[in-house]
């Protein structure tokens, strides 16, 4: 903890020099531009949003995991907001009754920070030591790029995966909002082509998913692999699995009192979406909270993608996921 404090509180010459050097290196990285305006750069086998590469590297180098940490890992637009709300509620259920949950007045992203953005990014919005223990922390980083202390410590990692078509469409809407432009369906074709070539924030998608999938198979006590569609279909049993994995299983008494149903209701898409904070306020990072709540459905991709796109993605999935034992629900 002392060391972490030093990391944040010192910003001396040595640190600044390191940052300048980093800027020089970052300028040499291959870059692309998505049609929606986001410009990912390629670093160590993955594409990162160039805006956050600096924080990603700092996170990699400086983060020291504690055994009690819970790390939430997702590919963007895979249900991160939902997972943050759920895990925060499960972890803090003895501190706040549901009727007084901080989620009622605070967006999930302000309760569970993104390490590479909110903590280690260029304009950090919080310090790790300000978080209550056990710490619940989010990241979009691929498993292979996580700081070594996450892998070496006893901290736990929850990965939430979503079918790539809904995730892809969700990202298009999100990217339009990020660049303050109306959603333009004519951009989908080019974005789709780039996505299939692996170019997307934190892509290639299949590498991201397969790395966490493999880790969850090798170390199931350490990495829990969940799917958005499964959670939508049968939330209660997945919440039980999640709470147990977190070391905080629901007791028989809690179950009989309907605590799991309360968590489900509190964290549901419709409930969170309609809260004043999520309708009209901004996150601490300055994004409208509403941009994290769109439809929250499975299968919305069918309104946007053509049969030939579907054919291309099916071939790609066969190629990339063959033999992994991993499959996705699309409707
Ligand atoms: P992030 O990666 O930028 O943090 P993330 O939360 O993963 O975003 O993705 C947002 C998606 O989750 C949106 O999907 P859609 O565009 O297909 O609608 C959003 O609606 C959905 N979402 C947000 N909150 C919930 C929730 N409580 N339950 C289910 N889905 C949700």
The answer for residues whose C-beta is within 8 angstroms of residue 263's C-beta and 6 or more apart is 86, 89, 90, 93, 98, 239
Residue 197's Cα: distance from chain center in Å? 21
* Residues within 6 Å of ligand 1 by CB: 74, 76-82, 85, 166, 170, 173, 267-269, 272, 292-296, 300
The pLDDT score that the predictor gives to residue 14 is: 43
The model carries a pTM of 0.94
DSSP letter at 118? Answer: I
The pLDDT score that the predictor gives to residue 130 is: 86
- How many angstroms separate the alpha carbon of residue 18 from the centre of ligand 1? 36
**Residues annotated as part of the active site:** 140
Fold of 68-320: Rossmann fold (3.40.50)
The pLDDT score that the predictor gives to residue 5 is: 30
Q: Nearest to residue 231, comparing CAs of 179, 291, 160, 175?
A: 160
Evaluate the omega torsion of the peptide bond into residue 134 and state whether it is cis, within 30 degrees of 0. Answer: yes
State the alpha helices, DSSP H only, in the chain: 2-9, 13-27, 50-62, 80-91, 108-111, 148-152, 164-178, 188-196, 205-218, 228-233, 235-245, 252-257, 259-267, 269-273, 276-280, 307-321
In the chain (331 residues long), the average pLDDT of successive 10-residue segments reads: 32 52 83 93 94 93 96 98 98 91 98 96 89 93 97 97 98 94 95 97 97 98 98 98 98 97 98 98 96 98 96 95 92 84
Residue nearest to atom 10 of ligand 1 (CA): 77
- How many angstroms separate the alpha carbon of residue 43 from the centre of ligand 1? 26
Task: Give the separation between CA 46 and CA 199, rounded to whole angstroms.
Answer: 9
Q: Among the atoms of ligand 1, which is closest to the Cα of residue 273?
A: 24
Mutate to test the pocket of ligand 1, among 78, 79, 136, 202 (most ligand atoms within 8 A of CB): 79
Q: Where are the domains of the chain?
A: 68-320
- How many angstroms separate the alpha carbon of residue 77 from the centre of ligand 1? 6
Task: Give the separation between CA 122 and CA 246, rounded to whole angstroms.
Answer: 31
- How many angstroms separate the alpha carbon of residue 16 from the centre of ligand 1? 36
3-class DSSP assignment, residue 96: coil
């Amino acid at each position: 903890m002392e060391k972490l404090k030093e990391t944040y509180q010192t910003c001396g010459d040595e640190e600044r020099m390191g940052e300048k050097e980093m800027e020089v290196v970052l300028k040499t990285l291959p870059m692309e531009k998505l049609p929606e305006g986001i410009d990912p750069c390629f670093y160590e086998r993955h594409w990162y949003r160039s805006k956050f590469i600096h924080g990603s590297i700092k996170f990699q180098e400086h983060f020291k995991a504690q055994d009690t940490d819970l790390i939430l890992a997702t590919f963007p637009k895979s249900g991160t907001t939902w997972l943050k709300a759920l895990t925060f509620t499960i972890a803090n259920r003895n501190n706040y009754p549901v009727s007084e949950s901080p989620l009622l007045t605070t967006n999930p992203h302000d309760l569970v920070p993104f390490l590479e953005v909110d903590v280690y990014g260029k304009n950090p919005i919080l310090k790790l030591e300000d978080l209550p223990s056990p710490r619940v922390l989010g990241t979009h980083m691929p498993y292979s790029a996580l700081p070594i202390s996450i892998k070496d410590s006893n901290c736990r990692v929850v990965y939430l995966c979503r079918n790539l078509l809904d995730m892809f469409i969700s990202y298009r809407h999100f990217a339009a909002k990020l660049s303050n432009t109306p959603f333009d369906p004519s951009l989908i074709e080019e974005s789709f082509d780039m996505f299939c070539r692996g170019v997307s924030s934190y892509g290639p998608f299949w590498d991201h998913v397969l790395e966490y999938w493999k880790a969850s198979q090798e170390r199931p006590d350490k990495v829990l692999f969940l799917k958005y569609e499964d959670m939508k279909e049968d939330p209660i049993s997945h919440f039980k699995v999640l709470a147990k994995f977190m070391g905080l299983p629901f007791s028989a008494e809690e179950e009989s009192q309907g605590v799991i149903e309360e968590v489900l209701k509190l964290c549901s898409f419709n409930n969170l979406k309609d809260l004043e904070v999520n309708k009209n306020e901004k996150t601490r990072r300055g994004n409208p909270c509403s941009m994290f709540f769109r439809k929250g459905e499975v299968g919305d991709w069918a309104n946007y993608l053509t049969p030939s796109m579907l054919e291309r993605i099916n071939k790609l999935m066969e190629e990339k996921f063959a033999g992994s034992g991993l499959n996705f629900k699309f409707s």
